[in-house]
Amino acid sequence: MDDSSISKDEVKSVYSLPLNVSEGSLIDFETTGIPSIDSSHEVVTLGYLQGDTVTIIQRSAKDTEHFYGDVRRILGNSPRPFYSYNTQFERDIMQLELRMRVSEADFIDLMSPWKAKADEIRKKWPSLGELISEPEDYYGQGKITGRNVPELWSEYLSTGEQGILKRIMEHCFSDILREATLLLRYPYYAKSRRSF
């Protein structure tokens, strides 16, 4: 089920899933860049899974104040631990962009066991898309990835086209579902490998 709402500063979609994360919150940000690599790393989207509910909150205003306030409140009240694929990125965004105080102990990195496995066999670290593919990958169709988000956000700011926001939100929803697949299919990895 998709329950959507729109306000002056953000668009929100809520989905009820037939699966459940019984402890903590799975989180995913879409941003205009990566801290320590890009000069801009504004948050434009927050996706999170708690229990059986996925919520995607999409910024729709150029100004960050209202949206960031909502994101800080949501994350501050969210059950721990935070699960994510490559927690370094989420922690950096929360600390550097959102100015939140978070502890490394609050995070479990869903990527960590797969990085270790890749290191053991001398392969590059896998992306989320390499571990959990989508139909577009099989058919060679174009799809939105995290790399497309800065360009899409810039295009939205120029045109005001609401369909662009929907595409970013759909990508975030896909990331949440694929990360949930890793967490729920391989729970023993998440429990045994806290991030460092």
Read off the CATH number of the domain in which 145 is found.
3.30.420
**Residue 97 near residue 39, CB atoms below 8 Å:** no
Q: Say if 195 falls within a structural domain.
A: no
Query: What pLDDT score was predicted for residue 187?
Result: 72
Domain contains 23: yes
> Residue 77: helix, strand or coil by DSSP?
coil
Q: Which domain holds residue 41?
A: 2-190
Domains held by the chain: number: 1
pLDDT mean over 21-36: 93
User: Has residue 196 been placed in a domain?
Assistant: no
- Residues facing residue 66 across a β-bridge: none
| For range 167-175, the mean pLDDT | 97
Residues 113-137 have a mean pLDDT of 93
What does pTM read for this prediction?
0.90
Longest dimension (CA), the chain: 50
The pLDDT value given to residue 8? 75
Q: Let me know: does 131 contact 182? Beta carbons within 8 Å.
A: yes
